Structures are given as C-alpha cells and as structure tokens.
Amino acid sequence: MVIVQQEIERLDRVHEAIERYAVDRLQTIGRHEAYTRELEQQRLGSVDWREKNDLAEKLIEHGHHSPRKYLHEFTQQASPYFGILGIHDNDRRIGKKEYLIGNQTLMDGQRVVVIDWRKAEITGPFYEGYDIGEEYELTIRGVEREGVITRRDKVTIARKALTRIETPSETYELRGGAWHKNGGAVETTADTKERTEDHRMVDSIAALISPEQFRAITKLRDGVVVINGAAGAGKTTVALHRLSFLMFDAPEKYRPERCIVLMFNRVLRDYVKQSSDTLLGPVRVDTYSAWSLTALAAIGVHSLKTVFDDPFGAQKKSSRVPALLAKYVKETTKIEPVTDLWRFLMQDYVVAALCSDAGTEFQQVARKKFAAKDRMVSFSDVSILLRLAQLRRPAGAVVPGALNAYDHIVVDEAQDLSSLELRTIIAASSAARSLTICADEKQQILSFLDSQGFSSVIAQLQSQGLEKENLTVSYRCPKEIVDLAAQVSGRNADTTKAHSGVVGFHPTRHAAESMAKIRDIVEGMVQAAPTSLTGVICKKKADVKALHAALAGVTGLHAEGEVSFLPGVQVIHAHAIKGVEFSNVILYNPSSYDYRQTDPDRNLLYVAITRACKTLHIVHHQPLAQGLRHAAQSET
C-alpha cells in the first residue's frame, strides 16, 4: 500500500525534526543562559557604578528575550499530528502543499512541520468539510488565497507509531501487525478513548471536531456566547476548545491565569481537569462551590464554616433573590459580610417573598445567626454571601478571582445553577464580559432549583448582545440510543451523523436477579473490550454499595466511590454523571417509582441514557419509567 509507506516515511521525518528541534532549543537556551551568567559576573566584578548600571540594564533587556518564552518544549512526541490537509494553490509560489495538523506547532529551523489546529485561518478547510477537488477561498495573514483541496485525511499515531489512515473514501488500519484496507469504520470519541486506554476528555478529540463545532470554537468576540444542544452534541468539548483557541489566538487578551472553567460537580471537574496541559495549560478548572469560597476569601470574607444541608436551600436559590438583594443593598449600609447575610435573610420582605410557609422558622433561624454572629453557612448561603459582598463593592472595583477580573469564564451545565449563582459568575468576569456558557434545559436535574432562574439570566444577557450557538447534531450516542432518549425527553435530535449501537432491555423478577444479570453483562463487556469503560448507573445512592458488592471480583471494577477514567467498570449514581460518557452503560432498575413524571426526573433519565457511546442495557425488576415502556414493549 503506497499511501501507508509514504505516511510511515513522513512520520519518520517528523520524528527526526522533533529531535533536531529539541537539540536546537536546548542549545539556544544554553547560549542565552551562558551569556546571562557572563553579564552577571561582569556586574559583580565591576567597581564603577555607571558600568554596574549599564550591565544591569543589559541583563534586564537580555532577560526579555529569553528563548524559554518562545521556544516551548514540544510535548506531543507520541502523537505529533492527527490531520493532513493538501492544497493546490493558484499562486505558483505556493503550488501544491500539504499541511500536518496537530495539537502543537513544530518548527524545524525556519520551516513549519506541524501546524497547531488553533491556527484557524490555515486549518479551517480541514474542519469545514471540504470535498476533494473543491475550490477554496481563504484569507491568510491578510492575503487572499484561492485554490483546490487535494487531500483531507485523518491519521492515528499512538506511541510514535502510525496505526490508522482515514481518507474520505478509504481507511487503512494496522491490525495484528499487518495493514488492512477499509479495515474499520469512522473512529468515534469512544474508539479514541479505548485505543488510548484513557477515558478522560483527552486532547486527541481535536481530530474529531465537526464543522459546526469548529465554527463555534473559532468565534472570536467579547461578550457572552451560549452553547446549546442535545446530549452528545459536544457542548463541553466546544467550550473548552474555544477557550484554548482564544488563549492561543489572542494571548495578550486571554491570559491563562485570568481564565477559569466552572463545572457542575467534582466528577465533571475531574473529567476535564485531568486533560493534558496542551489544551488548557494552567487554567483553573473547578466546581462552582469551590470557586465561590475562594472568591469570598479574595474579597475579604474569611473563617467560614460550611455545611451541605439546609432546610431552606430551595428558597435561597429562588430567582427572586437577586432583586431582593438589590433592594436590600440600596436601602442598607455595609456591615461585616456574614452578619450582613443574616440581616438580609431576616428582612420581613425577604421572608414574605421566599417563604409561602415556614416563614417564621426561616426568619427565626436568621435572627439567631445574626445575634450570635454565626459563621456557619450552607452552600446555599454562600452564593448569597458572595453576591452581597460583590454588590457592596464600588462600581467598577476589581478584585482578582472575585469581581470584574476574569478575561474569560467557561460555565458548564449552567441550567443547573441558580440565577444568583450565575450572576456571581458574570460579575466576576472583566468589563468585556467574555463568557462561554453551556446549557441544555432538557438536562436540568435539580428538583429544588427554580426553573425560571436560568431563563431569567439569559433573557437579561440577551439585551446585552448575547450570542447563541446551537449544536444540532448528536455525535456521542448511537442512533438507537438517541431515538430512545427522544422518547423520554420529547425532543428529537439529528442522527444523520450517528453510528449504530445496541439497546437491550432485560426484565428480571427481583433485585438480586437484576444484580446477577448486570454482573453477567459486565463480565461479557470486559472480556470483549478490555480497554472500554462501562458505567453502571443507579438512581439511589444507597444502591451504589449493593451493586458494587454484587460486582466484587469483576476485572477492572473501580473502587467504590472512586471516580476513575481508566478502562474498567464504574458504579455511579445518576446525579454524578452530568457531562461524562462511557463506552457502555447499564441502567439499574429505572422504574416509574424512581423516575416519576416530573421534569427533573425525566431529565435525569435522559441524562443517564445519553451517557452511552456504544451500548445501553436496561435491567429492571419493577415497572419501567413511562418514557421507556413503549421501547421495551417494542423489543418484546
């Protein structure tokens, strides 16, 4: 196979260039640092103050040009590129040319060997879905370019070895030590993760970005961009890659230390946080709860004690709170922040607005805390406290990490944040208000959350020039699973790009039989695909322990309570799975008793179903939730 041999030889040349770059980089750094030491010795040995000053100025100027600032280590040796873009430009000085596209630029002297995918003016045709032979018109560095696309291939390189070439018409794959033509289907994100034995949101996903995702990622503008789309449409992928693109394209405007990614929960945070430094670098990735506490510390609120339980948590997350806070701040003067919180909560008009019943108890609790100067707060209190502290600051005040400070903020699963929580985040962004917000109201799963909160914030932002990006195509799930999810949610999704998969229903007589059936299914999956990750999802936290015990001894079973993205089997409850994905999902007893006909429960079931990239098995011993019944009856 000629193409295989050509690409193996090309990869060898790239590896040679990587080695040359590493040697040249170290030599350049070494020369620079040797001259630095020489200047320092001259300055130390000088007795003339004028000469000392001149040498000090030389040292400062020399430091500004340190090669460590612009000659970055090439960290992609194992997989230096993933795409090949061929063009035949009308300009004869350019003519026929092929670009290698990867996660990091590689130079060989003055020659570009690999182009970073974020160089959108060049890499755009690779992502935009051009056909071979199609004409292009590009503007590169202000120069109009025209020509024809001659090649648009994807390659897989693992551990420095070429293992796959995917052209628009043919696929070449290395299997069993030999190359096979048309040996496999189009690779999905699940295939990529199984091949690398890493089920995090890894950088190699950049090779799989779709045209609509690429357009959303490379949208350059200040202000708020809301990314909406069904489960599996790539909202989180787009948001994170968009931040990476912004920092690459305008580093002086989007500084990593002034950017932050806020996730729904710790599972999702860890899923993203463990991505390689190539994508996000030193950008902080955290949960809203963890960030809000550090923001309070930055703004001067210390020595807090926190608790999770709060009998009035739903009232405190009401969409009425922002207006009540605005009224309170306008009518009162600043006092110690935590005491200020209790004073706000004990106001008669606050109690009347938030509590249709139990208002007396709500007010009494606040009064007791106010009198005792209590510093024990719930996480429902934290967002009120933070917003109150922000509002007490003068207009335009900047507090790093807390107020008018961040160059860009990514907010994921925003539909499950209260309107007040979203306002604290928006207030923490710089005056440019540059944010990327991912949301899907069909995935709002918190029953205590005021459903009007998210829409009220979006409506307010809409008047300030908010821009929406709707991702219409579901890529994660097979068509069979997307169709089932549509029955549950009542929302159809575009399955034109969906691959085929498996949905299976397994009725049993009782819980013990259900768990035994799950064990049989899991053992078969582990044997068939040892590098896959299977999620066993249940509604109740109490069922996690029983399921884990039933799976004891299964190869690859992750420890109870441990969240790992290594291949194997993960037992997890439904509220902890937002944003993550598994090769295979097994739903344990999704019954009508656990998933009722309420929006949060329907949404939670929809979320659980759409975590599956390949197969979905539903094992149940009680009557199924309404959205699943018809599909189960059809199967039988």
Neighbouring C-beta atoms of residue 413, cutoff 10 Å: 24
223-260: buried (b, 16+ CB within 10 Å) or exposed (e) per residue? Answer: ebbbbbbbbbbbbbbbbbbbbbbbbbeeeebbebebbb
Mean pLDDT of 561-573: 87
375, 303 Cβ separation under 8 angstroms: yes
Query: Confidence band (pLDDT; 50, 70, 90) for 332?
Result: very high
What confidence score (pLDDT) does residue 151 get? 95
d(CA 338, CA 355): 21
Q: Token pair for residue 177? A: 């030590």
Pull the structure tokens for residue 449: 């959350």
| Amino acid in position 103 | N
Instruction: Give dist(CA 497, CA 473) in Å, integer.
Output: 7
Q: Where does residue 615 rank: exposed (0-12), middle (13-18), buried (19+ CB within 10 A)?
A: buried
Nearest to 440 by CA among 485, 484, 407, 409: 485
Q: CB neighbours of 399 closer than 8 A, spacing ≥ 6?
A: 298, 299, 393, 405
Nearest to 330 by CA among 392, 381, 396: 392
Residue 325, classed as helix, strand or coil, is helix
Cβ-count burial of 57 within 10 angstroms (0-12 exposed, 13-18 middle, 19+ buried)? exposed
> Residue 154's pLDDT is what?
93
Decide: 632 and 618 in contact? Cβ < 8 Å.
yes
Cβ distance 386 to 295 under 8 Å? yes
Q: In which band, very low, low, confident or very high, does the pLDDT at 52 lie, cut at 50, 70 and 90? A: confident
> Which carries the bigger pLDDT value, residue 275 or residue 627?
627
Three-state DSSP at 78 gives: coil
Residue 439, pLDDT > 80, answer yes
Quote the CA–CA distance of 142 and 522 in Å, as a whole number.
56
Written as six digits, the tokens of 64 are: 């500004």
Q: Which long-range contacts (CB under 8 A, 24 or more apart) does 269-277 make?
A: 270/563, 270/565, 271/200, 271/201, 271/565, 271/579, 271/580, 272/200, 272/201, 272/236, 272/240, 272/412, 274/200, 274/565, 275/200, 275/201, 275/202, 275/203, 275/240, 276/75, 276/202, 276/203, 277/75
- Residues linked to residue 371 through DSSP beta bridges, in sequence order: none
pTM: 0.84
- pLDDT confidence of residue 176: 87
Tokens at residue 540, please?
């109740």
Q: Are strands 533-538 and 305-307 parallel, antiparallel or unpaired?
A: unpaired
Question: What are the pLDDT digits (tens) for 207-222?
Answer: 778 888 898 888 767 7
Across the chain, mean pLDDT equals: 89
Are the CB atoms for 296 and 386 separated by under 8 Å? yes
**Alpha carbon distances (Å) from 13 to 20, 108, 517:** 11, 11, 52
- Asked if residues 268 and 417 have their Cβ atoms less than 8 Å apart, the reply is no
SS3 (DSSP) at 54: helix
Query: Under 8 Å CB-to-CB from 270, ≥6 apart: which residues?
Result: 563, 565
pLDDT band at 499 (very low <50, low <70, confident <90, very high): confident
pLDDT digit string, tens, across residues 119-130? 998 999 999 889
Give pLDDT, residue 420: 93
User: What sign results for the dihedral spanned by CA atoms 133, 139, 141, 145?
Assistant: positive
Q: What is the pLDDT of residues 55-82, one digit of tens each?
A: 889 898 888 888 888 899 999 999 999 9
Which residues in 59-80 are b (16+ Cβ under 10 Å) and which e?
eeeeeeeebeeebeebebbebb
Q: Over the stretch 442-496, which tens digit does the pLDDT of each residue have?
A: 777 666 566 677 777 887 787 777 888 888 777 778 889 988 988 888 877 766 6
The kind and range of the H/E element at 627 are: helix 626-635
H-type alpha helices, 405-462 = 419-428, 452-462
* Residue 373 pLDDT: 94
Is the separation of the CB atoms in 429 and 295 below 8 Å? no
* Better pLDDT: 366 or 566: 366
Contact present, 226 and 469 (Cβ < 8 Å): yes
**Residue 52 CA to chain centroid, in angstroms?**
51
What pLDDT score was predicted for residue 468? 85
**pLDDT tens for each residue of 225-264:** 999 887 778 888 889 999 999 999 999 999 999 999 998 8
